[in-house]
Chains A and B, each alone.
Chain A
Amino acid sequence: MLEVKGLYVGYGSGSQGLAPFRLVQRVAQARSRLESNGQQQSEYDMTPRQRRSFVLNGVDFELSGGKAIIVGPNGSGKSTLFKAVLGLVSAEDGTIRIFGEDLKDERHDTRVSSNLIELYKLALIPCKDIVKVFAEMKGGDPRWTLAQIQEFGLDSVLGKKVHELSTGQQKMFGNLMAVSFGPKLVLLDEPFDNVDEGRRRKFLTILKDLDAEVILITHEFDIVSKLDGWSLYFMLDGRLWGKFESGQLDRLYFTRGIAQDALEVMDTEVGKLSVTLDHGDVAVGMASSANALLARV
């Protein structure tokens, strides 16, 4: 179970000064002024220019016992969201709770895993040893992972160090590590990037059968159409919009401006975009990727 509330993450979070932090403070002060005057909090607290100070602009997200896909163009903040959830970047504001525990208090919770390859660069040792080390650290059995690596035709990676792998090999190694050792919450960042069709199909089967909550981020709609029954969210300019259903993909449209029967109105840097059902400017299912979709809108 993952609960993210009002999450703000600045660029170069934690290492490039306090500007985003101060901006969040100003927003919080403005909010409390409005509330103390009995006024409703404005829907958008920041100007578009202010929002550009952040990779994540007040993300709210909840996953409880399901599987979700987040689709967004490159640079929309998808990977940063995962890094924030994993504690790899610090948030300027907001809370993250994993299985009810605040991220700040998380220690030794072996239920959470991800395919981010930097997580597996613990030591400059071959991947075979990385599997064994993580099996011990997660309290699992390395045999399933080692067998899967061979099953995916990746025997050659076992003798190499993580940084020596090709991009595609790193991605598949990260994917298999993420679903190993009995995780209950799996965060998959673009798991099919640079992965060939055969391995995509095999990994999709593993994902569908996996007894865990899964959040998958991608910019490809092709993947969404293959994961029926998953929740679907859009991520634009560091904000999350949804939820929709992956099965609705062929019925969803993006329309510029505010449509009367919009399921969601997204306030983006290029203006307001409405998500509508069965009609609109551009059919989501017809676009190959989020980047292509936005270009057409």
Chain B
Amino acid sequence: MQTSLAVCSLKGILRNKTLWAFAGGFMVLWLIVGALESTPSTPHIEQLTTASWFSIIALFGLSFIATNIARTISHASSSLSYGFRFTKLSPKAYLAALTCCASVVGIILVILALGMTFGLFSASYGASMAPSDPLSVIGVSALVGVFMMAFAVLVVLVATNYLGLRSVNLFIFLPLLIDTVLGNLQMNSTIPAAAVYASPFNSIMSLLYQTYSGTPAYTQLFNSSTQPLEAGYLLLSIVVWTVALLLIDMMLLKRVRSGQLDEGRQI
């Protein structure tokens, strides 16, 4: 692995004010809305409501990592193409460096989301809304950070290698769009269990919900009258998707093509 690249990229992301303003600001805003609109109920329901808000907002927050990494890679296509030929950098080393960054940033983002959710919802309900298994939440968030990175790399490389530069700018926000659609779908309607397991985004949200609330997630996230989801399958889905995406990324990185700079200037 290129240690300097991993360390410097991590510093770069940690110092990225725009990322933190957007991700942090977005999370705070929606968690305030959630805390204000939630009405007091039984402690169990309050905990589930808190967990559902946490899971969807953490999912959105984590997708900002994907957006940020996608933007970075879209600028770096020429550098990568050159780097793999004329430096010691390899696709594997590049992905390893990004994996380190993404997992650390994922953990930091989710710790922030945990803190904000706990503080705002505890204040709103007047009782402690602490996560039931914070260590598992943090563990999952590291994995989710890597998944988001792998997905972002895939999106940008497909756009750069096969669809042309114009598409890259549109595709950067794809992770956020997919999160919004699929996240809200599972919050507000019942979707088949197989679809949840097949969708990494829904698996992430369900697993975050489960680790925060300490109760199983359902096919409609918190509706216990719908089918409960198996934590093991949810975790397996995220792991399989992450590994598969990393392997595809590796193949695509070997063929990375430089963005057409003249076309870029026109945009």
Contact = CB atoms under 8 A, between A and B. Distances in A.
Interface of A: 12, 14-15, 83, 86-90, 103, 106-114, 116, 118-126, 129-130, 132-139, 163
Given A12-B263, A137-B2, A125 B8 contact: yes
B157 to A, nearest CB: 14
Contacts of B16: 124
10 contacts: A12-B263, A14-B257, A86-B85, A88-B258, A108-B85, A108-B90, A110-B86, A124-B72, A130-B8, A138-B87
B188 interface: no
Interface in B143-187: 164-165
Contacts of B2: 133, 136-137
B8 A133 contact: yes
B72 A119 contact: no
Given A88-B258, A123-B72, A137 B89 contact: yes
B112 interface: no
A136 B76 contact: no
Contacts of A124: 12, 16, 71-72, 75
A125 B9 contact: yes
A90 B256 CA distance: 11
Contacts, number: 109
B85 to A, nearest CB: 4
Given A14-B257, A129-B8, A133-B8, A107 B84 contact: yes
B128 interface: no
B84 A15 contact: no
Interface residues of B, number: 34
B11 interface: yes
Interface string B86-97: 111110000000
Given A124-B12, A129-B8, A163-B75, A118 B90 contact: no
B86 A106 contact: yes
A113 B4 CA distance: 19
Contact of B88 (A113, A118, A132, A138): A138
A118 B258 contact: yes
Contact of A123 (B76, B85, B87, B260): B76
B8 A15 contact: no
A126 to B, nearest CB: 8
Contacts of A89: 258
Give the top 4 A-B pairs by smallest Cβ distance, nearest first. A137-B87, A129-B8, A125-B12, A118-B78
A123 B88 contact: no
A9 to B, nearest CB: 12
B48 interface: no
B5 A123 contact: yes
A120 B79 contact: yes
Given A110-B87, A135-B4, A136-B4, 19 more contacts: A15-B260, A86-B81, A87-B85, A90-B257, A108-B89, A110-B86, A111-B86, A113-B86, A118-B258, A121-B75, A122-B83, A133-B2, A136-B2, A136-B88, A137-B4, A137-B83, A137-B88, A137-B89, A138-B87
B86 A88 contact: no
A88 B12 contact: no
Contacts of B8: 123, 125, 129-130, 132-133
A246 to B, nearest CB: 27
Contacts of A14: 257
